[in-house]
Amino acid sequence: MLPSTPSLALYADQDILVVNKPADLPTLVDGYRPEAPYLLGLLKAEYGELWVVHRLDRQTSGVIVFARSAAAHRTLNIQFEKRKVEKVYHALVQGSPAWEAKNVNLPLRANGDRRHRSTVDAIRGKPCSTELRLLERYADHALLEAIPHTGRTHQIRAHLAALGHPIVGDHLYGGKSLEGLTRLGLHASRLKFCHPVSGVEVEFRAPMPDDLTHALKTLRQENLSPPVEDDTLLS
């Protein structure tokens, strides 16, 4: 059962609405299943007219912002286009990276193959940059922080797969399922931007959902991994 829309709201004023999107809920209507629930439709029923600024994949959970006026929409769009918005994700991946931090600069081509994946393509791909940092290491998995500096389709998923560390549950990019986690192990943790009217820098955090929290606890217990000193994670 989907949560009611008031429980999704992290912040709301007359200009913006910030929510914590559940996993397995598309941001926009699904063209193949127009009758199925979708985030924008649920929110409009509660808050009225909304403008889409950015999206999260259906299986990705976490923080997302909507504009509540055309003027706020224009201002936020400019910030996203000029890469003034900081987006921070947590990704549970396969394998144990040999590095603690890594900047990935691999050009991506959207719909690069028959499976409509974004593929690394040095000739026809668009410039693409993702900053990665290791948060926790396990025997066969790792928890990473991912900061995309560009906004390409499936950017984090494609870059991690190219490094040989696909996200858990990301079957499109070669990720395998993890017991107890039935979806993509990707969570939009933090979002920072300037308020479209006041101009004040604001930051919003989405708590990690129960399924990812449980998966991390299980991996920590199995691998005797110490908790991370990160107040956005549940140790």
pLDDT tens-digit profile, the chain (235 residues) = 445 555 799 999 999 999 999 999 999 988 778 778 999 999 999 999 999 999 999 999 999 999 999 999 999 999 999 999 999 999 999 999 999 999 999 999 998 898 999 999 999 999 999 999 999 999 899 999 999 999 999 999 999 999 999 999 999 999 999 988 989 999 999 999 999 999 999 999 999 999 999 999 999 988 754 555 555 554 4
Q: Is 232 inside a domain boundary?
A: no
Separation between Cα atoms, residue 16 and residue 18, nearest integer Å: 7
**How many distinct structural domains can be found in the chain?**
1
Domain CATH number, residue 74: 3.30.2350.10
Angle, vertex CA 209, rays to CA 208 and CA 215, nearest 5: 90
Q: What is the pTM of this model?
A: 0.90
Q: Is 229 inside a domain boundary?
A: no
Give the residue numbers annotated as catalytic, written as ranges. Answer: 57
Q: Is 228 inside a domain boundary?
A: no
- Tell me, rounded to whole angstroms, the distance of Cα 93 from its chain centroid: 14
Closest to 197 (Cα-Cα) out of 66, 13, 10, 15: 15
Radius of gyration (C-alpha) of the chain in whole angstroms: 18
Contact 141, 219 (CB under 8 A): yes
Task: State which residues form the domain around 32.
Answer: 5-223
- Name residue 37's amino acid: P
Q: Is 27 inside a domain boundary?
A: yes
Residues in contact with 79: Cβ distance below 8 Å, sequence separation at least 6, in sequence order: 85, 193, 194, 196
